[in-house]
Structure 1
Amino acid sequence: MVHMYGMDIDKTPHFTMITYGPDDSLRWSSLLFIILIGCLLGPQYFIIAYCGIKTHFALKTEIAHLSAVHRTLQKQFLHALVAQALVPTILYGIPAIPLLIGPFVDIKWSMESGIFMSLLNVYPAIDSVIFMVIVPEYRKIIRGNTCAKKIFSQPPSCVTISM
């Protein structure tokens, strides 16, 4: 970085998007990066939406043939899958848009990026928690383990084995 941009690594933010060159010309590689992100994420969200809607309508027609237990289980799994697609989008995808597009529209701000990196590392836990919150059986187990009353058991009786 010192050779190419004249910046000391100790005094430079860890996530830097340089949108304009030294002569105030647009750096096309940075713009291409943003466009490629959109081209990669757009079809993914389209597939998620298409499959989710198709599954919803297929489940509506097939659910009448299932027992009540299987019906609720299928609905829980569908809700869990929808939540697992939406929550990361809301927590990570949408807040990233201003961070990535901001330099192109000349928005200047300085902030610590550690909070964003920490949030990205929390994703696996959030993904699991979503499933645990939506499925009632998991909720019961979690409540049972965290809010359990102490049950005193009787001491075991002596058993003698004779040979």
Structure 2
Amino acid sequence: MEGLPSGYRPNVGICLINSENQVFVASRLNLPGAWQMPQGGIEDGEEPRSAARRQLQEETGIVSAEIIAEVPDWLTYDFPPAVKAKVNRLWGGEWHGQATKWFLMRLTKDDSEVNLDSGAADHEFSEWTWADPEEVIEQAVDYKRPTYEEVIGTLMPYFNGKEASGKM
């Protein structure tokens, strides 16, 4: 994939907003109190946009959402040592961290589609909520917070309907 830094697992992230421009966040089952936006790995041969739609559906049950904008660059973060050891064992690799292609998506129906245990993938989240963008940054785990600041800062102009044609 073009621009993907080596040593980082390719990943997509979804900043899903509702009609009030609040952001969807969920609390991880394996790390209670760690709130995050949906994200997940890109499969071999999969395009990031397709991966974003798939991950959103697998992790949240949501299918009624449209892509509004895309952060132009891959954003990276490094795993802390304990996390690195665990994920490398699970994913079978030697990853420094993740390189994420972020998408802004708007929910096109109400949130009745939300199902954190849809059976489409391993159940990752225990609960979810809509949060203001500032809260999303504040509640992120330390090693993801700088990335979240960049994602929200880059995508915020598109929250209020600024037209985006594909990439920004």
Same fold (TM over 0.5): no
The structure with more strand, counted as a fraction of residues: 2
Q: Which has the higher contact order (CA 8 A, sep 6+)?
A: 2
Shorter-chain TM-score: what band? under 0.3
Q: TM-score normalized by structure 1?
A: 0.16
The structure with more helix, counted as a fraction of residues: 1
